[in-house]
Amino acid sequence: METHKFTAEITRDNEVNQYIGIIPGLPGAHTQAPTLDELYKNLQDVVQLCLQEMSKEEIKNLPEFIGFQQISVAV
């Protein structure tokens, strides 16, 4: 069994009282939950499902996540 590491983008939607998790660069890897602990588990599950549907070559060619950069713009 091979282990893969991913970085999740996590935001909070206050209208629905949910945390939203997205794995950038992994198609279909997004989920939500009312707590961060539940979101972490849901993200693990969805990433596992996404990877199971991909070939080794597709997994090897996933983009490498570098990070986020804050941008300031005056309007």
Average pLDDT (44-72) is: 93
Domains of the chain (ranges, CATH numbers): 1-75 (3.30.2390)
Which residues on adjacent β-strands are paired with residue 25?
none
| pTM (2 d.p.) | 0.83
pLDDT on residue 67: 84
pLDDT on residue 50: 97
Contact 69, 58 (CB under 8 A): no
Provide the pLDDT confidence category of residue 64 given band limits of 50, 70 and 90: confident
pLDDT on residue 39: 98
pLDDT on residue 68: 83
pLDDT on residue 13: 96
